[in-house]
A and B are shown apart, each in its own frame.
Chain A
């Protein structure tokens, strides 16, 4: 058990260090336009991701349940899914890897916050022993991952745009996907994220009706999830109806992501909610 606990923390902190290091490497490669360094950074992120996975597996073994309870488990697994989404997106389009400059700082900072939370093992309450928990929580993590990658593509869009305005014709930025492709790719991740968010809210409502006899009670977490859903819905309407694309869309994504992070991770800090007991332990 001591090995499990120690190994878990060693893997956790090593992955935090690797994520933080990768952020520095992304910065250096963007500032000095080092293409090869970018490839190396992807390897660093992948290594951090593997160690992070091991930390989650060991925690799972130790607690006997999935990463559902307490900030430590929730933040760690949310970040892991986001990094997985980022790495998968690179398989599809390797030229977007510089988007890590926006994903990695959020990842290692959140993991730092997660590490300050209690790591005590919390047993799974019978109320949580439902397949709806897996559906509800998995979709929350997928939402975070997809929307974070979509937003990071918005950041990359703005960086490339800035270079174009500066008339910087270096091959480093040229090799990135075109601005239009990045803009559309980012919005696809947001649409997928909104589908996941819808499923998360819906599965939560169905589960609440089964467990408590009410599907919607304006509980703070329910309300903030609805707010996040409405905000991203508003963004999509702006994009589709009013051609709110390119720079405007990228800035909007950067502006609205705090709402999602607050809805998924921050509400339990501020409010007394039915979810508080499970999240903020």
Chain B
């Protein structure tokens, strides 16, 4: 009973018709997802625009679950079925391909050769040994491998034998890619950190201001420190410039690695990859000290970047000691030099304004019985950090798939058989035939050329037809 059920299930999954249906369904689904906007992959504003421009269409799509296709249960079901189908189909094909690459070709008889699509017969006085030499010359030049069998009566020439494995290899490699993608979606972590020059942060959950963790990642952070030594706003490029950052990796109190990273040049450490993002801002250093000059509070404040009426502004609201709140905005001269920085400050305490003024770099003001000084300004930038154990598997799968596909396309198994038989004393009858695994008509052209060449060579050695 159980065996029958298993056999039936396997038969169902080894169906090539099922493969076609699933590929068709998968393609159709991806086309739908490319037409109907998927909010996960586009900006909120863009989706909002879609919604307001096509309210009925989007409402209808949302109702049918077509706005979250890639996470829908039916899309995942199609993928799982496709995976199982590809796996079963190809497992079933392994013994078939193995058998086809076997030595059964050498037991062929004259009748079987005559039954092939491309055949030809010739009577010749040339000895079996010399026929072999001629075949070796003509087909050897075309990279065929020659084998003798049946006591030297059969000459068998073949090439592209391993091309038979190409398709199988390609499909199995695709399964490796899918497996890698599953690992990737289960164990990946992607996050974003912000660092001001000179600052370091540990690679732990709380350091990220944005983080996505896959269900099985389980907080496996590496806890090494990343320090931003220096930031270069225009590190690379001539006309279009992009930023770069000099980073130091500190692990167990040792400086392990120093590297300047920029676009296309990330830093790799302990399975994590650190990427430079294309944004930066300013972090002014504010110090509050008492009348005796003792520092009470000190911090670099990474000011947010806001676009207001098309103008980029560096401003933020922060909490200061003694329950004070400050609104800070940084201005710079057109040269963008850090030395030209000026801070506009509005400080309130319990809703009452206690300071409103401008501080230039190096300025110190007295307020609320303390001194407030603006002593330094540095740049901040952000980095993407990701850990994806599935990616190496995907990469291996991808290259194996390309290799398999190439083998399938470039190496097509082609075979020639030449069977010599004694027609009468001194005369040999050669029954020749050829077969290709695919592209039979194109092989037919090759077969005709080989026949012409062999004819010419045999005639050269003289013989009677």
A binding-site residues for B, Cβ under 8 Å: 123-127, 129-130, 132, 178, 180-181, 183-185, 187-188, 191-192, 194-195, 198-199, 202, 205-207, 209-215, 217-220, 223-224, 226-227, 230-231, 233-234, 237-238, 240-242, 272
For B180, the closest partner residue in chain A by CB is A215
**Residues on A with beta carbons closer than 8 Å to the beta carbon of B330:** none
Whether A185 and B264, one on each chain, are in contact in the complex, defined by CB atoms closer than 8 angstroms, is: no
Stretch at the interface among B58-66, B148-156, B397-405, B450-458: B397-405
Which of A194, A223, A234 is in CB contact (< 8 Å) with B20?
A234
Name the CB-closest residue of B to A229.
B27
Q: Verify B263–A127 contact, CB threshold 8 A.
A: yes
CA distance A202 to B442 in the complex (A): 30
Which residues of B have CB within 8 Å of A234? 20, 23-24, 27
A173 CB to closest chain B CB, in angstroms?
17
Contact of B402 among A198, A217, A231, A240 (CB under 8 A): A198
A58 to chain B, nearest CB (A): 20
Q: How far is the CB of A68 from chain B (nearest CB, A)?
A: 13
Contact indicator A215/B238 (Cβ below 8 Å): no
Question: Would you call A213 and B266 a contact (CB within 8 A)?
Answer: yes
A123, B238: Cβ atoms under 8 Å? yes
Tell me whether A215 and B391 are in contact (CB under 8 A). Answer: yes
C-alpha gap A227/B29 in the complex (Å): 10
What is the CB-to-nearest-CB distance from B127 to chain A, in angstroms, rounded to a whole number?
36
- How far is B394's CA from A209's CA once the two chains are assembled, in angstroms? 12
Contacts of B417 in A (CB 8 A): none
Establish whether residues A224 and B41, one from each chain, have CB atoms under 8 Å apart when the complex forms: no
Which B-chain residue is minimally distant from A259 (CB atoms)?
A: B31
The one of B30, B31, B70, B242 that contacts A126, using a Cβ cutoff of 8 Å: B242
- A residues less than 8 Å from B42 (CB atoms): 272
- A121's nearest neighbour on chain B, judged by CB, is B239
Within 8 Å CB of A231, what residues of B? 27
User: Contact mask B203-220 → A, CB, 8 Å, 1/0?
Assistant: 000000000000000000
For chain B, residues 435 to 451, give those with C-beta under 8 angstroms from any C-beta of chain A: 438-442, 444-445
B30 to A227, Cβ gap below 8 A? Answer: yes
With A195-B405, A202-B398 as known contacts, state yes or no: A224 contacts B34, CB within 8 Å: yes
Chain B residue with Cβ nearest A218: B41
Shortest Cβ-Cβ A-B pairs, 5 listed: A180-B441, A123-B239, A126-B237, A230-B27, A126-B242
CB-CB under 8 A from B33, the residues of chain A are 218, 223
Q: Smallest distance from the beta carbon of A208 to chain B beta carbons, Å?
A: 11
B442–A181 CB distance below 8 A: yes
Closest to A244 in B: B20
Query: Apart from A198-B402, A227-B27, A241-B16, what are 19 other A-B pairs with CB-CB below 8 Å?
Result: A126-B240, A129-B264, A180-B440, A181-B444, A194-B405, A198-B401, A198-B405, A199-B402, A206-B398, A211-B263, A213-B273, A213-B275, A218-B33, A218-B70, A219-B41, A226-B30, A227-B30, A233-B23, A234-B24
Whether a CB of chain A sits under 8 angstroms from the CB of B395 is yes
Residues of B within 8 A of A199 (CB): 402
Pairwise interchain contact B30-A125, C-beta atoms closer than 8 A: no
| B212 nearest CB across to chain A (Å) | 11
Q: Are B402 and A195 in contact (CB under 8 A)?
A: yes
Q: Is the Cβ of A178 less than 8 Å from the Cβ of B24?
A: no
Contacts of B273 in A (CB 8 A): 213
Q: How large is the interface on B (under 10, 10 to 19, 20 to 34, 35 or more residues)?
A: 35 or more
Residue of B nearest to A234 (CB): B23
Q: Give the chain A neighbours of B405 by CB distance below 8 A.
A: 194-195, 198
Assess whether B375 is interfacial by the CB under 8 Å rule. no
Docked complex: B385-400 residues within 8 A CB-CB of A = 386, 391, 394-395, 398-399
* Beta-carbon contact of B442 and A213 below 8 Å: no
Q: Please, what's the 1-or-0 string for B253-279, where 1 marks a CB less than 8 Å from any CB in chain A?
A: 000000000111010000001010000
For the complex, is B317 an interface residue (Cβ under 8 Å from A)? no
Q: Is B76 in the interface zone, CB < 8 Å from A?
A: no
Q: Mark B359-387, 1 if CB is under 8 A from A, else 0.
A: 00000000000000000000000001010
Alpha-carbon gap, A205 to B409, bound state (A):
23
**Bound complex: CA A227 to CA B239 (Å):** 35
In the complex, are the beta carbons of A215 and B394 less than 8 A apart? Answer: yes
A28 to chain B, nearest CB (A): 29
How far is A226 from B16 in the complex, measured between Cα atoms in Å? Answer: 21
In the complex formed, the residue of B with least CB distance to A239 is: B438
**Inter-subunit contact A126/B41 (CB<8 Å):** no
Chain B residues within 8 Å of A211, by CB: 263-264, 275
A interface footprint on B321-339 (CB within 8 Å = 1, 0 otherwise): 0000000000000000000
Contacting residues, chain A, for B38 (C-beta < 8 A): 218
Please name the residue on chain A nearest to B181 by beta carbon: A216
B120 at the interface (CB under 8 A from A): no
Contact present for A188 and B41 (CB under 8 Å)? no
Q: Quick check: B240 and A184 within 8 Å, CB to CB?
A: no
In the complex, whether B26 has a CB less than 8 A from a CB of chain A is yes
Contact B441 A184 (CB under 8 A): yes
Is B299 part of the binding interface, using a Cβ–Cβ cutoff of 8 Å?
A: no
Asked if B3 is at the interface (CB within 8 A of a chain A CB), the reply is no
Q: Given the complex, which residues of B lie within 8 Å of A185, measured CB to CB?
A: 442
Which residues does chain A contribute within 8 Å of B41, judged by CB atoms?
Answer: 217-219
Asked whether B190 is an interface residue with its Cβ less than 8 Å from the other chain, the reply is yes
The answer to whether A184 and B442 have CB atoms under 8 Å apart is yes
Q: Which of B15-56 contact A (CB under 8 A)?
A: 16, 19-20, 23-24, 26-27, 30-31, 33-34, 38, 41-42, 46
